[in-house]
Amino acid sequence: MIPPVPRSPYPARLASVAAIVLGSIVAGAPAKAQNQYMDIPAEAEAKRSPAYVYANMTNAEALAELKTRGIPFKPATPPLPGVRAPIRLTGKLHGVWLHSALPPEKREDSIFEILDARLALALDDFCRILAAHDIVEVVHFTMYRPPRDEPSDAEGYRFRHPGGLAFDFGAAKKRNGQWLAIGPHWAEQIGAKTCGKRARRIENRKGRELRSIVCEAYDQRLFHYSLTPHYDAPHADHLHLELKPDTKWFVAH
């Protein structure tokens, strides 16, 4: 049975992180020294990262890569506002089943099972990490959310959840039947460091494993944003994992 996990209010509260990043760059000082939560590699290195490569693919490139990898998916129709290449996953990724908290009979047509093809590629890599931790199922709070505001660019596409480019990880089931859930197993400590030197030590074994998963993905640069219960109170019950086009830095907070 899935442990009780409160439903996330899905806040879009990344402006403060972006401000810190941009402030570091504008100041001309080493960004890592000013922001302990971020990684700014050399430009060439950043552009080789999975997150950068996936986020900047054309629709045709992303869909072709899904097919090359044999990722089970189908187009999401009709076209979804804000999403460049909307799809639905129709099977497991490396043995890991990703789905929302909705009852099974409501998932097939739910907008909350939709994501952009680019995010699916990052999640395919992420599921390799999950499979190595013996995880077979992940319950997410949301991927795509219909936009409520103006488009992020002139072509009408959005970023974050309104663009289908973010994944809110709530809980994971291991092969032995045990569940790892963010809310119950990762106590929030706003401002704490998640990965690297001087990272917070989490006493709870399940919480430590969840943190390890986040940091392995961060080390591999699978996502541009990895926001945890260390970021703010609205993220106390989930991990926010996001791709963002034209972005050459990575944040784990």
CATH number at residue 172: 3.30.1380
- In this predicted structure, the answer to whether residue 23 has a pLDDT above a threshold of 70 is no
Q: Is residue 24 part of a domain?
A: no
- Supply the pLDDT for residue 84: 92
When pLDDT is averaged across residues 44-72 and rounded to a whole number, the result is 97
- In this predicted structure, the answer to whether residue 150 has a pLDDT above a threshold of 70 is no
Q: Is residue 200 part of a domain?
A: yes
- In this predicted structure, the answer to whether residue 136 has a pLDDT above a threshold of 90 is yes
3-state secondary structure 76-98: CCCCCCCCCCEEEECCCECCEEE
The encoded tokens of residue 114 equal 């939709």
- Supply the pLDDT for residue 35: 78
User: Would you place residue 159 in the very low, low, confident or very high pLDDT band (cuts 50, 70, 90)?
Assistant: confident
When pLDDT is averaged across residues 39-44 and rounded to a whole number, the result is 94
- Supply the pLDDT for residue 197: 87
- Count of structural domains, the chain: 1
Write the burial class of residue 12 (CB in 10 Å: 0-12 exposed, 13-18 middle, 19+ buried): middle
Q: Is residue 234 part of a domain?
A: yes
When pLDDT is averaged across residues 154-172 and rounded to a whole number, the result is 85
The encoded tokens of residue 191 equal 């401002």
Does the bond joining 147 to the residue before it have cis omega, within 30 degrees of 0? no
Q: What is the tens place of the pLDDT at every residue in 197-220?
A: 888 988 899 999 999 999 999 999
Average pLDDT score, the chain = 86
- In this predicted structure, the answer to whether residue 28 has a pLDDT above a threshold of 80 is no
**In terms of pLDDT, which residue wins out, 31 or 136?**
136
Question: Nearest 5 degrees, angle CA 166-CA 169-CA 174?
Answer: 140
The share of the chain scoring above pLDDT 70, in percent, equals 83
Q: Is residue 113 part of a domain?
A: yes
User: Would you place residue 7 in the very low, low, confident or very high pLDDT band (cuts 50, 70, 90)?
Assistant: very low
Q: Is residue 122 part of a domain?
A: yes
- Supply the pLDDT for residue 81: 80
Q: Is residue 15 part of a domain?
A: no
- Supply the pLDDT for residue 155: 57
Q: Is residue 99 part of a domain?
A: yes
Domain ranges, residue 56 = 50-252
**Residue that is written with structure tokens 């009780």 in the block:** 4
Q: Which of 31, 19, 12, 53 is nearest to 158 (CA)?
A: 12
Q: Is residue 23 part of a domain?
A: no
- Supply the pLDDT for residue 77: 82
